[in-house]
């Protein structure tokens, strides 16, 4: 039985598995993705540090896009319904996924979260992941695109410190750019660092407070699922 390893012990059976450890999550994510596509829904996995401005971006998105398209949000947090409540106050449907101690969302959590949201009627679903630059990058949720919110106050070297997260990103939203005059932060350095880690570097400068860059962000969203071109070229900084 153990002809392969030559140990001579007939009881030992080597079995080749060659399967991704997250194959179970991948299957659940694919299931979500099929549901989304059958219903013509564009889904965005919005990630970033705690306090990067993810919820504020979604509130600004609700104001800018909420009249033209039906938006929904699944907001992941360890505890509280605060983010979903803020987003509902901005006029779009939102549901919390409280993860307890889990540091990320997985595809099953999203699937269960969908049961509490009229997702079939939506044009866009934003999955606001748990604030964390490490773990969420590892789990496919069934999204069409990964967007990472990175605030200018987090410093220039975050892309280099958390390469996996930025490597998986289709777009980086550099948030809170209204604060730049008060900070000693060089946007060109952030851009250079993103170029080192992102597979297809793309960054937009936004301020949910002043509205700067929100039009470009909406244009980018409208292009999700379509061949990339003009929508992204309007972005300041990194080109598509």
Partner 1 sequence: MHEYSIVQAMFDQIERVAQTHGAQTVRRIRVRIGEFAGVDPTLFQSAYEVYRIGTPCADAVLQIEHVAAGDDLILDQVELEVR
Q: Where are the beta strands (DSSP E) in 164-229?
A: 171-175, 203-205
Residue 167 engages partner 1 in binding (rule: CB under 8 A): yes
Supply the minimum distance, in Å, between the C-beta of residue 95 and partner 1.
22
Q: Pick the closer one to partner 1 by CB: 47 or 57.
A: 47
CB of 213 to partner 1, least distance (A): 28
Total residues in contact with partner 1, by rule CB under 8 A: 30
Residue length of the chain: 240
Which range touches partner 1 (CB under 8 A), out of 7-15, 63-71, 73-81, 110-118?
Answer: 7-15
Using the CB atoms, write b or e for 47-86: b if 16+ within 10 Å. bbbeebbbbbbbbbbbebbeeeebbbbbbbbeeeeebbeb
- DSSP state, residue 115: T
Q: Which of 51, 66, 155, 163 binds partner 1 (CB under 8 A)?
A: 163
174, two tokens: 């550099």
Nearer to partner 1, 19 or 184 (CB): 19
CA dist., res. 211 & res. 178, Å (int)? 9
32 exposure class (CB count in 10 Å sphere: 0-12, 13-18, 19+): buried
Residue 196's Cβ-side half-sphere holds a number of Cα atoms within 13 Å equal to 14
Smallest gap from Cβ 8 to partner 1, in A, equals 14
| Sequence-separated (6 or more) residues with CB below 8 Å from residue 142 | 28, 29, 30, 31, 32, 33, 35, 36, 43, 107, 110
Based on the shown chain and the rule CB under 8 A, indicate whether residue 184 belongs to the binding site for partner 1. no
Question: For 71, which DSSP code?
Answer: E
Q: Report residue 86 as tokens.
A: 């803020």
Q: Is 78 in the site for partner 1 (CB under 8 A)?
A: no
Subset of 8-37 contacting partner 1 (CB under 8 A): 11-25
Stretch that binds partner 1, among 51-59, 113-121, 160-168, 207-215 (CB under 8 A): 160-168
**Which of 78, 103, 179, 187 forms a contact with partner 1 (CB under 8 A)?**
103
CB of 62 to partner 1, least distance (A): 30
Nearer to partner 1 among residue 17 and residue 230 (C-beta): 17
Nearest-angstrom CA–CA distance, 1 and 189: 59
Q: Is 89 in the site for partner 1 (CB under 8 A)?
A: no
Nearer to partner 1, 104 or 176 (CB): 104
Q: Does 182 help bind partner 1 (rule: CB under 8 A)?
A: no
Q: Which residues form the interface with partner 1 (CB under 8 A)?
A: 1, 5, 11-25, 102-104, 106, 134-135, 137-139, 163-165, 167
């Amino acid at each position: 039985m153990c002809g392969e390893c030559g140990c001579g012990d007939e009881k030992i059976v080597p079995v080749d598995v060659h399967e991704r450890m997250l194959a179970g999550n991948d299957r659940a994510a694919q299931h979500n993705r099929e549901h989304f596509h059958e219903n013509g829904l564009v889904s965005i996995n919005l990630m970033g540090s705690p306090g990067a401005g993810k919820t504020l971006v979604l509130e600004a998105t609700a104001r800018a896009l909420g009249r033209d398209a039906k938006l929904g949000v699944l907001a992941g947090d360890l505890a509280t319904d605060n983010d979903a409540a803020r987003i509902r106050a901005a006029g779009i449907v939102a549901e919390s996924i409280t993860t307890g101690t889990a540091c990320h969302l997985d595809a099953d959590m999203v699937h269960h979260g969908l049961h509490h949201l009229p997702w079939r009627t939506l044009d866009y679903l934003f999955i606001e992941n748990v604030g964390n630059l490490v773990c969420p990058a590892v789990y496919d949720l069934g999204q069409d695109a990964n967007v990472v919110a990175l605030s200018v106050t987090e410093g220039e070297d975050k892309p280099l410190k958390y390469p996996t997260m930025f490597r998986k990103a289709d777009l980086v939203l550099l948030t809170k750019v209204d604060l730049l005059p008060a900070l000693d932060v060089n946007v060109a350095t952030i851009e250079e660092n993103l170029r080192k880690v992102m597979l297809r570097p793309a960054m937009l400068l936004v301020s949910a407070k002043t509205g700067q860059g929100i039009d470009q962000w909406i244009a980018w969203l409208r292009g999700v699922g379509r061949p990339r071109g003009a929508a992204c070229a309007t972005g300041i900084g990194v080109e598509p």
